[in-house]
Structure 1
């Protein structure tokens, strides 16, 4: 498969940003976030193969116009980072790429090559381009007759998972003609003002550059129900879907790491959490910016068992709610500084097996409709950090979960053959066998 770039342009907001909004202040959480792009790819089938070229031109025009209209409301994302305090909102615009690929979307979905999916993204993984250039990059890749892939990258400097979801919902609503139903709120810096972080510059995190591999796992809803039943205990009587799946992945990954190293190191699982619902009073989900923190679950050197891991995951959530959130609201800078120092210490320690979890299983990404129906598949593929796990809902919408797991080559060799794991998960199943492609609706064609 070869993806050919056919056009590049800058999409600016369809109306100018008022002068009084030209300087946007970052929050304390934004200051600490890296200027890397968060990747997502949406795959949409096309029911009209007879007039494919004409339809592709329509889709491209519609995407760019609706993006320009969306940027008028999400104006900081059309700006440029000035420094670690400010975004210059002078309507510089966002990068938009159009591409063609001489194969069928159905071929991609039938035989998924996770590494090849990066060609549908308009940036290199782990790129820091957003520190000086576009905060959003978009690539529309049109397949030979049967669909389109929309690859999106939003700079982590201003977006966490919730902001990513809000922007996509806003763009989708605009494309459907109801853009005023999604209104972003830009008040995070008033709640968590930026600070001078010069004392923290010496604490930069150095992630492992070890060769890693990526695998996709699908946990069907009935399997998750069975997994929840065996992970339940008096301490956690009703594990969540994510807790049960996370515990199993953590156990199998840690078993693989211990088998290869022959050392019983303790392990730490760090999971990102949305602060909007934790703060008192809660913040609306459409509050823009980085408003996340990390909860930790720890496993000592003893034998690993699923119920114990679930208890540790739940205990980490409870400790976070009781301790960190109160500290955060009393003195945000002190709380964040202390937590950051602890994280750096753990990262630098070679005596801990560290795992990072991103859970996006409750985000409605399969509702993102640009005018021709819902996607047939959505993936958050990308990133190459060792011991990273990403969860999101599968397209069936029945409670199934799709997991992307990144481990070292040696650990993955053992992990993907673990019998306990494979009793509950399918390894990279074909998307067409699970659910045939649904053709696009004619809404876009009739509206242009």
Structure 2
């Protein structure tokens, strides 16, 4: 979207309501026990945003009639199927009672509808962070009463296209839980019961809740110096499949696509920070890990909860080489897989995790470190999520913390299906100015502003 169009796009909330489960939750399920991982989760939200377009809807001569008709039809379909889905995902319609229990008395999820005063294709030609974040109900989530868990926003474009934005509290969900929920909702909306998922609520039995004190929570979720103290900027970068293959070949070291792109972004962000500050600091990159995949035996994908951990890789900014960064990332996940689960399964799991955080926190709260946080949805199938209208045109995972926090990276596979990766990067305005002009980045990332989602523009 050109800068002129950026200013013109407006998202107007036209309705807000509470959607409750279509069937009451049985009494024996009213108190849902959180797992230890849910208890120590950061006070933030996991988000996902899906865009759906309809063939022929971009004809400007008749888009108004189509938009009104489809908005009414889709609205009813979405709300009815959401209500049905909440009977299976009943904790999402509950309220956090304390740091051990969710009250599942069918309070309901927050559902809002919005109108967008442009065509969907206008946004997808050149999507940017300021426009996209308006389609995720994160502001509503942050302004709502504490304890609410699920927020949904359906945004209807003048062409009849729709964007579905979902925010779920980390107190009950990680990225995998969000995907499972949306998949099941889509199956219900499409009337395809083969795609209706039944969640597994086994997290609290595997990782029982503990008495987490306020002091422990401070150690586990410290006030990192990532909050916006200066103006931040969020930008989307596209790494096309052949370019990533060339990057992996240049590394001359084993790596996944995500690791290669993460290492490159980390290197270029560090170079920008060092150039602006004039000093070399310790640089730490924290990455999320889906614990379902590393337990023995692995947990099912439909396991509900914040079943995620984080490991940190660090490098002195005076020695930032791609090969070394990839090696740090690989060794970090290997060490995490060996040690973290062992700590979680100990009787003194909380104490063990808290103790392991103390040294890291002492470093993080100093002013001599740059902390980066990377979350990835690479290799997660998302472009087959069909609400009955066909596959999504675009799926994206812009961070709910952007642009209020800096040094955030979100990775996701692109719609092209050729191994391409999209990255949302949030940096300080000064760092972004240097980052986006870094020669190493430009060798592998799209070099034009706001890369298009539409294949016809690639």
TM-score (norm. length: structure 1): 0.91
User: Is contact 1:357-1:390 (8 Å) kept?
Assistant: yes
Distance 1:374 1:417, change over 3 A: same
- Taking the aligned partners of 1:330 and 1:245, their CA distance within structure 2 comes to 35
Deviations 1:152-208 (A, max 9, x none): 111111001111111111111212223464110111111111111114144352243
- Taking the aligned partners of 2:77 and 2:138, their CA distance within structure 1 comes to 22
RMSD over aligned Cα, in angstroms? 2.0
Aligned partner of 2:26 in structure 1 is 18
**Residue among 49, 52, 55 paired with 2:70:** 55
Q: How does 1:208-247 map to 2 (within 5 A)?
A: 208-210=227-229, 211-233=231-253, 238-247=254-263
How far is the alpha carbon of 1:98 from its aligned partner?
1.3
Aligned partner of 2:385 in structure 1 is 368
Aligned partner of 1:131 in structure 2 is 146
How far is the alpha carbon of 1:122 from its aligned partner?
2.5
Aligned partner of 2:3 in structure 1 is none
Distance 1:9 1:126, change over 3 A: closer
User: Is contact 1:267-1:354 (8 Å) kept?
Assistant: yes
- Number of residue pairs the alignment of both structures matches: 432
- Taking the aligned partners of 1:288 and 1:21, their CA distance within structure 2 comes to 15
Tell me, what secondary structure is at the counterpart of 1:386?
coil
User: Is contact 1:267-1:352 (8 Å) kept?
Assistant: yes
Which segment drifts farther, 412-421 or 174-183? Answer: 174-183
How far is the alpha carbon of 1:27 from its aligned partner?
0.8
User: Is contact 1:388-1:407 (8 Å) kept?
Assistant: yes
Tell me, what secondary structure is at the counterpart of 1:131?
coil
Structure 1 position 253 matched with structure 2 position 269:
yes
Unaligned 5+ runs, structure 2:
1-8
Aligned partner of 2:366 in structure 1 is 349
- Taking the aligned partners of 1:435 and 1:327, their CA distance within structure 2 comes to 50
Tell me, what secondary structure is at the counterpart of 2:389?
coil
- Taking the aligned partners of 1:288 and 1:128, their CA distance within structure 2 comes to 25
Aligned partner of 2:413 in structure 1 is 393
Tell me, what secondary structure is at the counterpart of 2:204?
helix
How far is the alpha carbon of 1:316 from its aligned partner?
0.8
Structure 1 position 65 matched with structure 2 position 80:
yes
Aligned partner of 1:441 in structure 2 is none
Aligned partner of 2:331 in structure 1 is 315
Structure 1 position 291 matched with structure 2 position 307:
yes
User: Is contact 2:71-2:160 (8 Å) kept?
Assistant: no
Aligned partner of 2:452 in structure 1 is 431
Distance 1:342 1:282, change over 3 A: farther
Aligned partner of 1:445 in structure 2 is none
Tell me, what secondary structure is at the counterpart of 1:365?
coil
Aligned partner of 2:185 in structure 1 is 171
- Taking the aligned partners of 1:243 and 1:311, their CA distance within structure 2 comes to 9
Deviations 1:309-349 (A, max 9, x none): 11111111111122223333334323322233344323212
Deviations 1:267-325 (A, max 9, x none): 11110101111112221111100111112211124332111111111111111122223
**Residue among 89, 93, 118 paired with 2:108:** 93
User: Is contact 1:212-1:408 (8 Å) kept?
Assistant: yes
**Residue among 43, 51, 67 paired with 1:43:** 51
User: Is contact 1:186-1:288 (8 Å) kept?
Assistant: yes
Tell me, what secondary structure is at the counterpart of 1:127?
helix
